[in-house]
Amino acid sequence: MNEPRVVHVEVHGQKYPIRTSLDPRYVNELAAFVQKRMELAAATSPSSDTLGLAILVALNIADEFFRARSESENADTVLSGRAERLERIVDEALALTL
């Protein structure tokens, strides 16, 4: 892992020094993602203050994460079930050849 360094990012007009061992390009990509989300939130809720927008953005991102995690878990369950069925089919085919 890399040594931690300070990466300066700007989100919604505020500059933030981020101490991280992540690649600075990646941290800037994250900040750009959050900035776009802040812009979208500001467009739909123009009367919200910055903190309110940040909370709204955080909740939206958390919702997307939870949904993606759930979809991934469901996909894993489906794949495990298919693998078990395939294993049974192979076992049965091998048993027929003996």
Query: Measuring CA to CA, which residue among 38, 32, 29 is closest to residue 60?
Result: 38
What is d(CA 35, CA 22) in angstroms, rounded to the nearest whole number?
19
State if pTM tops 0.85. Answer: no
Per-residue pLDDT of the chain in tens (98 residues, 90 and over written 9): 678 999 999 999 999 999 999 999 999 999 999 999 999 999 998 888 999 999 999 999 999 999 999 999 888 888 888 999 999 889 888 888 87
- The pLDDT of residue 78: 86
